[in-house]
Structure 1
Amino acid sequence: MRSNRRKRRREELNIQRNDGIGERCLGNFPSSEELAMLDGKTFKEVTSNILGYRAKDILKLAKDVESGKIRLDEFEGLEDKDDMFHKFRQIRGFGPFASANAMMCVGYYHKVPVDTETIRHLKEVHGRTNCNKKTVTKDVEEIYNKYAPFQCLAYWSELLDSYETKFGKLSELPNSNYHIISGRLESFDITHSGISG
């Protein structure tokens, strides 16, 4: 039903399946069912240049969801956002960054996912020149807690505005230029030291 409601742009990503069905084309947002049908070797070969070291954990997550080992319906009953964050953290591959992103996807916006792109943004936009891995969480709280419980929405809105100021309207950016806003710091023309992607 989900795939009927959303239109997925299909890329030419043909995958040989080991179940005798033959080749299959996956779109940009394959379901856990589609991913779980793939064997680890094929999945890694096809996605290594896209997912890198995360490929193994993503495939395991899809297989765990499909097997019932991870029950997504258990997340629906959680009303305490800290309990939900803790439950995400229990899943292999879900550190603070992935868990904060997952929280946003289910409607909780109080945690800003922090990484090197957040550090770059705080240095460039907020003048937090001393921001680093050790201080970024405190810096984020000082800047965005005034937007509670929507800290993450405020951050993302501000981040997207800064991208559009730098690169132009994102909706008009050709696909071939998506890499410049992928969070890879080498794509930005900045000279801040001490940040690596």
Structure 2
Amino acid sequence: MPGFSLTPPADYLLPRDYCSYGYFLLFPNHWSVREQALTRPLRLSGGVVGIRVTQPRRAGAPLKIETSRTLARDEREEARTQITRMLRLDEDDRSIAEFHRLDGRWKKTGRGRVSRSPTLFEDVVKTVTSCNVTWPGTVQMNRRLCEVLGAPVPDKPDAARTFPDAARLARTRPQTLRARCRVGYRDQRLVELARLFRTPASRGGLNVARLEDPATPDDEVHEMLIDLPGVGPYAAANIMQLLGRYARLPLDTESVRHGRSLLGYKGSSAQVMKKVHSHYAPFGPHAFRSYWLEMWEFYESKHGPAWTWERDSTGKMFTAAQLKKA
């Protein structure tokens, strides 16, 4: 197969650092436990391409990127950009070392990176489809979005379809999203979101470049996100960590469970959330990392390391509510 290589940060380990957040279990992502390989399609300017990412089992080893077709030079750069974003290769080992100085519990394991999607749009839609629903519902919605609205990989009929881009989602009828993708009340909001991403900022659309600019203040980013259709306080905070801004915590029912069962807090859900927020405040700009890695460690204590989870079995039940049924 054609392809190329990527040099990751010196501490980067693909199984640990990619299998670090629930979105790695959502379509069109597929992690092969047997091969320890990530496969998924990417949408590039020249069309759709399937990719397969592997790494020799040592930190910092070059990542091998296999592609379903030969890429033009500009397409290769697009693929590099999307893969770099998805795997957080733009967070160097100095950033992780800074986190470990604040929270030394994770230094031995080297943990600190939290994976995400190749594009901000996919991250936002995945976040909206994870609110007010069980995890199996989130899994189903993302699978259906790809199956119904995604584009196929040429000459690969069995490969997963792409995640729909903003242009495709913007021209989809809300009724189609509700009936065929099973998104429920999110139908109109997802279309509105897609149209904001699709429309240039100069014409009233979302200023994506401003959102993704590290120089933009956190408060401004939060205000921009909270104004988006379907985005409330939890979703805004979660999208912020997906943007590499870890100071805010996306607190939900899982946070309450964590506060009560692991941190020993008592009281109403609102009281427990307040205590959880205060507990992680000392970690400052890395608060989410400390919080999430504790949560992830709990999930792994039930079913083993995340890189051993099969997407279509264990991957559907890793949240606390589902683990209680296991």
TM-score under structure 2 length normalisation: 0.48
Does 2:196 align with 1:156? Answer: no
Does 2:317 align with 1:180? Answer: yes
SS at match of 2:43: helix
Q: Distance in 1 between matches of 2:231 and 2:250?
A: 12
5+ residue gaps in structure 2?
Answer: 1-41, 45-78, 84-117, 119-142, 151-158
Q: What is the one-letter code of the residue matched to 2:172?
A: L
Within 5 A, what are the aligned runs for 1:57-68?
57-68=189-200
Q: Name which structure has the greater RCO, CA cutoff 8 Å, separation 6+.
A: 2
The C-alpha deviation readout for 1:92-112, integer Å capped at 9, x for no partner, is 211101100111111110111
Does 2:43 align with 1:3? Answer: yes
TM-score under structure 1 length normalisation: 0.76
Does 2:266 align with 1:129? Answer: yes
Displacement of 1:189 in angstroms is: 2.1
1:76–1:152: structure 2 CA closer, same or farther, 3 Å change rule?
same
Is the contact made by 1:180 and 1:188 (CA closer than 8 Å) also made in structure 2?
Answer: yes
Displacement of 1:26 in angstroms is: 7.5
Q: Distance in 1 between matches of 2:168 and 2:268?
A: 41
Q: Distance in 1 between matches of 2:187 and 2:160?
A: 15
Runs of 4 or more consecutive aligned structure 1 residues displaced over 4 Å after TM superposition? none
Does 2:83 align with 1:43? Answer: no
Residue in structure 2 matched with residue 21 of structure 1 by the alignment:
none
- Number of residue pairs aligned between Structure 1 and Structure 2: 175
Give the structure with the larger helix fraction. Answer: 1
Is the contact made by 2:299 and 2:319 (CA closer than 8 Å) also made in structure 1?
Answer: no
**What percent identity do the matched residue pairs reach?**
24
SS at match of 2:194: helix
Q: What is the one-letter code of the residue matched to 1:188?
A: L
SS at match of 2:245: coil
1:55–1:169: structure 2 CA closer, same or farther, 3 Å change rule?
farther
Displacement of 1:15 in angstroms is: 4.8
Give 1:91's match in structure 2, choosing from 220, 228, 240.
Answer: 228
Q: Distance in 1 between matches of 2:217 and 2:149?
A: 40
Residue in structure 2 matched with residue 194 of structure 1 by the alignment:
none
Q: What is the one-letter code of the residue matched to 2:189?
A: D
Q: What is the one-letter code of the residue matched to 2:275?
A: D
1:136–1:47: structure 2 CA closer, same or farther, 3 Å change rule?
farther
Q: Distance in 2 between matches of 1:79 and 1:32?
A: 23
Q: What is the one-letter code of the residue matched to 1:91?
A: L
SS at match of 1:45: helix
SS at match of 2:187: helix
Give 2:219's match in structure 1, choosing from 82, 98, 118.
Answer: 82
Q: Distance in 2 between matches of 1:167 and 1:130?
A: 29
SS at match of 1:3: strand
Displacement of 1:126 in angstroms is: 0.8
Q: Distance in 2 between matches of 1:131 and 1:169?
A: 32
The C-alpha deviation readout for 1:153-177, integer Å capped at 9, x for no partner, is 1111111111000122222122223
Is the contact made by 1:110 and 1:149 (CA closer than 8 Å) also made in structure 2?
Answer: yes
Q: Distance in 1 between matches of 2:271 and 2:231?
A: 21
1:109–1:145: structure 2 CA closer, same or farther, 3 Å change rule?
same
Q: Distance in 2 between matches of 1:161 and 1:110?
A: 20
